[in-house]
């Protein structure tokens, strides 16, 4: 492989990595935009959810095209092939996080249409914890830090525990408050979407560890096992 080819390949990897971070920040913005709707007096997000969703989809397509083009035109060695495959997998996980954020905002709108105040405190706390996990994960990607990814991976059980607590509380409200049963049902779906976002962040952590080290982490985690979307 010539020096020119090596340089071109390195530049392609850098573009993919930079686009991956841009996509991650957009997905983070989507989650923030959804979270501000989890209130009886919801705020307007800084950017419309529709615009964020379109940009995330465009970034996902761009990353996929860049990966496919690089695979087709270069002959990547094992390490570089691992980087490309992992980048593609991480982009897919991020796109799914965006889908869940969109669903959260949609379900929050249904609650607001009911007009009766509900307790958003539990789902907001869960969302804030998931946001921390996602933000830390993006930092780990930016720094190519597999050890940080492993720490994030290990914290998934805390998200699961908070989800179980939130789910149980709102399920109890459905049984005791008939007038708020529809809204509480929507809160259950919101909590599930947040739990799934936590799972996707954990999957990204696994992909980053594989990208950086070539080793795959066990799917078994303390308190819960990874579920598939």
Q: Give tens-digit pLDDT for 185-199.
A: 999 999 999 999 999
Q: How far is CA 4 from CA 17, 46, 84, 100, 214, in A?
A: 20, 43, 19, 42, 26
**Looking at residue 97, what is its pLDDT?**
97
**Looking at residue 172, what is its pLDDT?**
84
Nearest Cα to Cα of residue 80 among 22, 17, 131, 136: 17
Structure tokens of 8? 């071109």
Q: How far is CA 201 from CA 61, 145, 154, in A?
A: 20, 15, 11
In a 13 Å sphere around the CA of 14, the CA atoms on its Cβ side amount to 6
**Looking at residue 222, what is its pLDDT?**
45
Q: Where are the domains of the chain?
A: 3-225
The predicted-structure confidence for 17-68, as pLDDT tens digits, reads as follows 999 999 999 999 999 999 999 999 887 776 778 889 999 999 999 999 999 9
**Looking at residue 117, what is its pLDDT?**
87
Nearest Cα to Cα of residue 124 among 207, 39, 4, 215: 39
Residues in the chain with pLDDT < 70? 1-6, 46, 175, 177-178, 219-229
Q: How far is CA 184 from CA 119, 181, 216, in A?
A: 9, 5, 39
DSSP three-state, residue 112: helix
**Looking at residue 223, what is its pLDDT?**
41
**Looking at residue 151, what is its pLDDT?**
95
**Looking at residue 89, what is its pLDDT?**
95
How far apart CA 12 and CA 6 sit, in angstroms, is 10
Query: What is 3-225's CATH topology?
Result: Methane Monooxygenase Hydroxylase; Chain G, domain 1 (1.20.58)
Q: Supply the DSSP symbol for 178.
A: G
**Looking at residue 134, what is its pLDDT?**
97
Number of Cβ atoms within 10 Å of the Cβ of 94:
29
Query: Strand 220-221 and strand 224-225: pairing?
Result: antiparallel
């Amino acid at each position: 492989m010539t020096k020119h080819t090596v340089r071109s390949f390195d530049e392609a990897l850098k573009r993919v990595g930079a686009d991956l971070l841009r996509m991650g920040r957009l997905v983070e913005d989507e989650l923030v935009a959804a979270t501000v709707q989890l209130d009886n007096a919801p705020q307007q997000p800084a950017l419309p959810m529709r615009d964020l969703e379109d940009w995330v989809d465009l970034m996902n397509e761009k990353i996929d095209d860049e990966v496919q083009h690089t695979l087709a035109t270069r002959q990547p060695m094992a390490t570089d092939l691992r980087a490309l495959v992992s980048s593609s997998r991480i982009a897919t996980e991020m796109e799914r996080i965006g889908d869940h954020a969109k669903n959260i905002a949609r379900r929050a709108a249904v609650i607001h249409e009911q007009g009766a105040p509900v307790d958003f405190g539990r789902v907001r706390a869960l969302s804030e914890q998931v946001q921390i996990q996602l933000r830390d994960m993006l930092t780990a990607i930016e720094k190519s830090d597999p050890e940080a990814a492993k720490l994030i991976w290990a914290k998934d059980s805390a998200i699961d525990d908070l989800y179980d607590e939130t789910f149980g509380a709102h399920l109890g409200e459905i049984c005791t408050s008939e007038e708020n049963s529809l809204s509480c049902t929507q809160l259950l779906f919101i909590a599930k979407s947040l739990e799934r976002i936590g799972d996707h962040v954990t999957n990204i952590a696994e992909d980053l560890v594989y990208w950086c080290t070539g080793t795959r982490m066990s799917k078994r985690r303390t308190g819960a096992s990874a579920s598939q979307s």
